[in-house]
Amino acid sequence: MDQSKLDTELAEALLDFPVLDIWDDIPAVRAHVDEIADAIQLNQGTSDGVSTSDHLIPGPEGAPWVSVRVYRPKDGGASLPALLWMHGGGYVLGSLQGDDYLVRCLVEQVRCIVVSVDYRLAPEHPFPGPLEDCYAALLWLAGHADALGVDPTRLAIGGLSAGGGLAAGLAILARDRATVKIMFQMLLCPMIDDRNITASSHAVMDPRLWNRESNKRGWAAYLGDLYGTKSIPACAAVSRAENLNDLPPAYIPVGSLDLFLDENIKYANGLNKASVPADLQVFPGGFHAFEFVVPTARVSKLAMTMHYEKLRAAFGL
C-alpha cells in the first residue's frame, strides 16, 4: 500500500493502530475485539431513540438456533422498511454485540428496522454454516414482518467486509431458492474473492490492517476443505458467480487503498453488465473499513453520510 496516498487524517490515526495477531489465539482476539466495541459504545453512549429486542430463532436444519437482535426507532411508526445486517470480521471475528453501536447509529439516521444476525464463525463453523444462519434469519424476518411492524415489500440486506460478502452470497442464495424477495443490497467493502489474484489484493501487507495474509487465512477458515479448489459455489465467494441476473440493486462503497478495491470494482461492473444497478463509490485515501475504525476523519463522515443516504433512497425515505 502506498502510504503517501493515504488520507492525511487516516494516516495519522494509523500510527496508533496495534499489530494484532489474529491467528495466534482466535478466541482471545474475539474477546479483545468485543472489549474494544464495548469501550466504544461506553464512550459514545446509547441512543434513547432506539429500542431493541433479542430473539432466538430456528437455525438451519440440524444446526443450533440463531441469535438476532431487532432494532427499531421508538417513534418510527408501523410498516417500516427493514435491513438484515451481517457483521464483519473476516468470517472469523465479530459479533452481534460488537456491531451494536454501529447498528444503533444506522437506525437513528435511516429510520428503519434492522435485524442483526449473530451467525456462527469460522474456522469452527465453515461454509455453508454462517451463510445458512443468515438465510434462516432472512426467512424469519420475512415470515414475521407483520409482527415486527415491517413492510415486506421493503426488505434489504447488508453488511461490512465479510458481512458484505455474506450479504452478497445471501442475495444469490435467495434468488436461486426463489424464497424471499430482496429489494436492495448494501455491500460495504465486501470480502468476496477467495482467489487473491487482483493487484489490490497484493498491495496491502501492513500488519495493522486487514492485509493479504489475513485475507488468505480468513478465506481458508471460511471455506474449509473447499479452499483452493475449483468447487467453490457462487454464494460462498460471489466473485466466482457466472450468473448475476435478477439480483437486487447494490450499493458498493470501498476505499481506494482497500485490498478489496479491485474485486469490488469487478463485481459492480459485473452486476451492471447483468442489468443489475450497482452503485460503486470509491473513497480516495481510504484503507479497509476506514469509516468505522476512524469515524472522526472527514472522509469517514462523508462516507457514513453517503451510506445512510443510499439506504434511505433505496427504501424511498
**pTM for the model:** 0.96
- C-alpha neighbours within 13 Å on the C-beta side of residue 9: 13
Of the candidates 99, 116, 194, 288, the residue annotated as catalytic is 288
Neighbour order of strands in the sheet with 113-118: 50-57, 66-73, 113-118, 80-86, 150-160, 184-188, 250-255, 278-283
Structural domains for the chain = 3-315 (3.40.50.1820)
CA–CA gap between residue 150 and residue 58 (Å, rounded): 19
Contact 267, 192 (CB under 8 A): yes
Per-residue pLDDT of the chain (317 residues; tens, 9 = 90+): 777 799 999 999 999 888 877 787 888 888 877 777 777 666 666 667 899 999 999 999 999 999 999 999 998 778 999 999 999 999 999 999 999 999 999 999 999 999 999 999 999 999 999 999 999 999 999 999 999 999 999 999 999 999 999 999 999 999 999 999 999 999 999 999 999 999 999 999 999 999 999 999 999 999 999 999 989 999 999 999 999 999 999 999 999 999 999 999 999 999 999 999 999 999 999 999 999 989 999 999 999 999 999 999 999 99
Nearest to 96 by CA among 70, 118, 71, 125: 118
Active site residue 38: no
Active site residue 47: no
- Provide CB contacts within 8 A for 292, sequence distance 6+: 102, 160, 300
CA–CA gap between residue 214 and residue 211 (Å, rounded): 5
Of the candidates 67, 161, 214, 239, the residue annotated as catalytic is 161
Active site residue 87: no
Say how far residue 303 (Cα) sits from the centre of its chain: 15
Element (H, E) at 280: strand 278-283
Of the candidates 99, 100, 133, 258, the residue annotated as catalytic is 258
Which amino acid makes up residue 78? Answer: A
**C-alpha cell, 152:** 415486506
CA–CA gap between residue 287 and residue 284 (Å, rounded): 9
